[in-house]
Amino acid sequence: MSPSTASSLHTTEIGDTGARVVFLHGLFGQGRNFTQIAKALVPDLRSTLVDLPNHGRSPWLDTTDYPDLADTVADHLRERYADDGPLHLVGHSMGGKVAMVLALRHPELVERLVVVDISPVPSGGAGEFEHLLDSLARLDLDSLERRSDADEALAPYIDDERVRGFLLQNLRSGKEGFGWQANLDLLRAELATIAGMPEVSGSFERPVLWMAGEHSPYVQPDHAPRMRELFPTTRLVTVKGAGHWVHSEQPDAFVSALRVFLTAD
């Protein structure tokens, strides 16, 4: 990725005191998904919410390759915050894989790492995301007159109103009608790459918090040896009552765990 791509990543800053925490969202998400979490961490921590490439207001690229994505984010962080020293990095789902690869390839940038409900192995349960993206692709955008039309059209395929709302945050209305802010076609085509995990080596020796949702399939006991091989100081925490979207389903527990881990001496 070019330096110009790195510098054009869209970010939002929340808070102005404490160590910096950078949040990386999951598939079809946006940095703003962590807004309430970041606000809850003020004044102990300041946050940077990143829109990953092909998502939100960041550029569309022709790849979903994790090393490329990790290097792009690393270049952005190095450009903006190099003088501040290493920072804390939090990644959920796809963003968790980007965060893991970034920490291994650019360890000088990361002080502490938090991986949320994903493992450094190919992800089981990717069929759920295939179903969600296929459902979005069924929408006839030209026929939409208002956002509620899209929600109504999706309801027979996605019965969870909360999930529909999460996905439809990517729907934008312009002079030429509705369109997707995220690169839906690429994300659908590259879902196998997104669900996979690249070959990585080495180890990240600084503190790591691995957070899993109690009811999620994405972190399994047999993933632990690989996690500890790459991240020897890993501490695993299971969040009760949470599925895959830990930070939105159990925000108080999520914030509490982050604050304790990221502010400890």
> 108 and 229 share a domain?
yes
The per-residue pLDDT for 130 is 87
Element (H, E) at 3: helix 3-7
* CATH number, residue 18: 3.40.50.1820
Residue pLDDT, tens place only, 116-133: 999 999 986 567 788 899
β-partners of residue 50 are 11, 24
> 159 and 206 share a domain?
no
User: What is the pTM assigned to this prediction?
Assistant: 0.93
> 131 and 116 share a domain?
no
> 111 and 131 share a domain?
no
Contacts of 234 (CB under 8 A, 6+ apart): 208, 209, 210, 227, 228
Residue pLDDT, tens place only, 140-194: 999 999 989 999 999 999 999 988 998 999 999 888 889 999 999 999 999 999 9
Residue pLDDT, tens place only, 197-206: 999 999 999 9
* Last residue within a domain, chosen from 189, 211, 228: 189
The per-residue pLDDT for 3 is 41
> 132 and 34 share a domain?
no
Structural domains in the chain (count): 2
Residue pLDDT, tens place only, 203-225: 999 999 999 999 999 999 999 99
Residue 262 pLDDT exceeds 50: yes
> 108 and 47 share a domain?
yes
The per-residue pLDDT for 2 is 42
> 103 and 203 share a domain?
yes
> 71 and 165 share a domain?
no
Long-range CB pairs of 29-33 (<8 Å, 24+ gap) are 29/55, 29/92, 29/93, 29/95, 29/166, 30/55, 30/56, 30/57, 30/169, 30/170, 31/56, 32/56, 33/166, 33/247, 33/248
> 119 and 137 share a domain?
no
> 164 and 140 share a domain?
yes
> 176 and 148 share a domain?
yes
> 95 and 114 share a domain?
yes
**Which range marks the domain in which residue 145 is found?**
126-189
Residue 56 pLDDT exceeds 90: yes
Active site (catalytic) residues: 93, 185, 244
Residue pLDDT, tens place only, 83-128: 889 999 999 999 999 999 999 999 999 999 999 999 999 986 567 7
